[in-house]
Structure 1
Amino acid sequence: MDIFVTGGAGFIGGHLAESFAAAGHDVTVLDNYEPYYDLGIKEHNVEAVEAAATDSDGSCEIVDGSVTDADLLTSLTNQTDVIYHQAAQAGVRKSVEEPDKVNEFNVTGTVNVLEAARTNDVDRVVYASSSSVYGKPEYLPYDEAHPNEPVSPYGVSKLSAEHYMRVYNEVYGLPTVSLRYFTVYGPRMRPNMAISNFVSRCMRGEPPVIYGDGEQTRDFTYIADVVDANHRLLTDDSADGEVMNIGSTDNIDIETLAEVVRDEIDPDLPLEYTEARDGDAEHTHADISKANELIGYEPSRDIREGVGEFIDWYETNREWYEPLVVNS
């Protein structure tokens, strides 16, 4: 199949593109190499995609461009079967600083992707949404019927894009699926994430630093499970027109997460605390029963198993990855 991945040099997009290329598909990656974090990690993501294509019957084309370029999107997707729309201006705190930029990439960019898909009669568009659309919890775990009250411009942009996905399905008959990811982590993850920072500091003999009191909770989802959910949607139309949570087996408070990382690496290290960051949700926890019912999604790792695998990967790739975390 011909697969188009926006944001395909990023963390999730890179893993998707790599996995599709490894499976023998023809993959086109679009990324504008936005320097939200050190571009060295995007270079490694692209190398992984290219290596997967070389080792299989698949192919890959890497295009430096943006979802804000509607004409480029239309020309690149004229033979595409499925679009995996991962491109976005990431970062809750970044969105607080530059809400207009977040709207341009996350909302207008999504409309451009949908228009290209409609014009070229693409079979399906799978959209990377976020648990940030929920915001203030009325109950946990979040199911897809939970009210949406995002607490950051980033969350608002993701929710707006979801509505466009739904409308294009209902009005134009374009098959679309929105996946609400819950804090995805794993090899080649963004270097400014909590887990990568905790691991990096502990590896260097420094205490992990917790923003706030550590009582905030997160549902952390291993990257392999996200890849699995997306692969199921390559040919399965059971979730067309739907929004689904993609989360893990349970949630964990940040203090306990820091302790899990610390105990794996150096149990003698203390924990450090600093001021909480603006725009961060207090709690996230996914009810994944809908994704299980519609596409058979089941997470394969709990947080302790996933953290252990990430630490192993970190040690193997420490030479190039650690400087990116330290400087993030």
Structure 2
Amino acid sequence: MRILVTGGAGFVGGHLAERFTADGHDVVVLDNLNDFYSPEIKRHTVEQCRAVADAGDGSYEFVGGDVRDADLVADLVTDADYVYHQAGQAGVRPSVQNPREYDEVNVDGTLNVLDACRDEGIERFVMASSSSVYGTLNYLPYDEEHPTEPVSPYGASKLAAERYACSYSEVYDLPVVALRYFTVYGPRMRPNMAISNFVSRCVNGDPPVIYGDGTQTRDFTYIDDVIDANVRLLSEDAADGEAVNIGSTDNISITTLAEHVRDRIAPDLELVYDDPKDADAEHTHADTSKAEALLDYEPEYTIREGVDAFVDWYDENRDWYEPLVLSS
């Protein structure tokens, strides 16, 4: 299978590219290695994927470029059977300062990929959406029928992108699936996320810093479960034209999360609280029954199990990962 992964040097995209390569597929990655967080983490991912390709039957090619380059995107899609569109400008809080960049990358960039996929007639287009599309809370857990009222420019851009994708499925008969991720974490994750911040601070003897009163709750999803959901779409076609939640089995308050990390690493530390950040959701929790019905999706990791797995990985990879976390 020939698979194009946009944003394939990033966190989710990098794990997808590694998995597809390990499974013997021919993988092409498009990524601009932007500096939203350390590009060295992304370069490490690229080298990891190349090593996997060298050791197995799959092939791997990295292409430096941007989804805003419509001609480049069209050239790469020409040789693809499947396109996994993971490229995007991430970050709820930074989107408040620069909403137009999020529109250019997340909306216009997605349209470039969609147009190329439509013109080439690929087998399936799978895109990364976000729980941020829900925004204003009406009830929990969020199911896919919950109103979509994003409260950040980031959430608005992801909703616009997935709605374009689903409309292309309807109008152009393009097989499309939008996966709404709920706060993905795990090895090689972005340094500026709560879990990586809590872990890095605790292993260095600094207390976890919680923004707000800590009663906010999150549905954190371990990377292996997210990859499993994506891989299923190489064979499953029941979800075409749909937006589908990909979450964990539960949710957790930020204070409880910080306490779990602290107790695992440095039990004597006290928690520190600071002012809340703009545009952060108060609560998230995924109803994954649609993913279970359409994709046979069953997340294997509880949040505590996933955090423990990340702490173990952090300890094993601290020599290269931690300096990049602390410098971001």
Superposition TM-score tier, normalisation by shorter sequence: over 0.9
- Tell me which moved more, 250-259 or 76-85: 76-85
Structure 1 residues 112-135: Cα deviation after superposition (integer angstroms, max 9, x where no partner):
000010111111000100000000
Q: Secondary structure at the match of 1:207?
A: coil
Q: How does 1:254-293 map to 2 (within 5 A)?
A: 254-293=254-293
Structure 1 residues 18-46: Cα deviation after superposition (integer angstroms, max 9, x where no partner):
00000000000000111101111101111
State yes or no: 1:230 paired with 2:230: yes
Q: Secondary structure at the match of 1:5?
A: strand
Q: How does 1:185-204 map to 2 (within 5 A)?
A: 185-204=185-204
The equivalent residue for 2:60 is 60
Q: Secondary structure at the match of 1:214?
A: coil
State yes or no: 1:23 paired with 2:46: no
Q: Using the alignment, how far apart are the partners of 1:79 and 1:33 within structure 2? A: 22
Q: How does 1:50-199 map to 2 (within 5 A)?
A: 50-199=50-199
Q: Using the alignment, how far apart are the partners of 1:94 and 1:46 within structure 2? A: 26
The equivalent residue for 1:14 is 14
TM-score of the pair, normalised by structure 2: 0.99
When the two structures are aligned, how many residues end up with a matched partner? 328
Amino acid at match of 2:263: D
Cα distance, 1:266 vs structure 2: 1.1
Q: Secondary structure at the match of 1:126?
A: strand
Q: Using the alignment, how far apart are the partners of 2:279 and 2:56 within structure 1? A: 43
Q: Using the alignment, how far apart are the partners of 1:327 and 1:92 within structure 2? A: 20
Q: Using the alignment, how far apart are the partners of 2:9 and 2:64 within structure 1? A: 10
Structure 1 residues 59-98: Cα deviation after superposition (integer angstroms, max 9, x where no partner):
0110000000111111111121110000001101111111
Amino acid at match of 2:157: S
Q: Secondary structure at the match of 1:278?
A: coil
Q: Using the alignment, how far apart are the partners of 1:70 and 1:235 within structure 2? A: 28
The equivalent residue for 1:36 is 36
Determine what percentage of the aligned residue pairs are the same residue.
66
Cα distance, 1:296 vs structure 2: 0.2
Structure 1 residues 152-180: Cα deviation after superposition (integer angstroms, max 9, x where no partner):
00000000001101110000000000000
Cα distance, 1:235 vs structure 2: 1.9
Q: Using the alignment, how far apart are the partners of 2:191 and 2:65 within structure 1? A: 23
Amino acid at match of 1:259: E
Amino acid at match of 1:22: A
The equivalent residue for 2:310 is 310
Q: Secondary structure at the match of 1:227?
A: helix
Q: Secondary structure at the match of 2:127?
A: strand
Q: Using the alignment, how far apart are the partners of 1:76 and 1:19 within structure 2? A: 20
Cα distance, 1:279 vs structure 2: 1.0
Q: Secondary structure at the match of 1:281?
A: coil
Q: Secondary structure at the match of 1:77?
A: helix
The equivalent residue for 2:47 is 47
Q: Using the alignment, how far apart are the partners of 2:247 and 2:101 within structure 1? A: 27
Amino acid at match of 1:222: Y
- Please identify runs of 4+ aligned residues in structure 1 that moved more than 4 A: none
Unaligned runs of 5+ in 2: none
Amino acid at match of 1:321: Y
Unaligned runs of 5+ in 1: none
TM-score of the pair, normalised by structure 1: 0.99
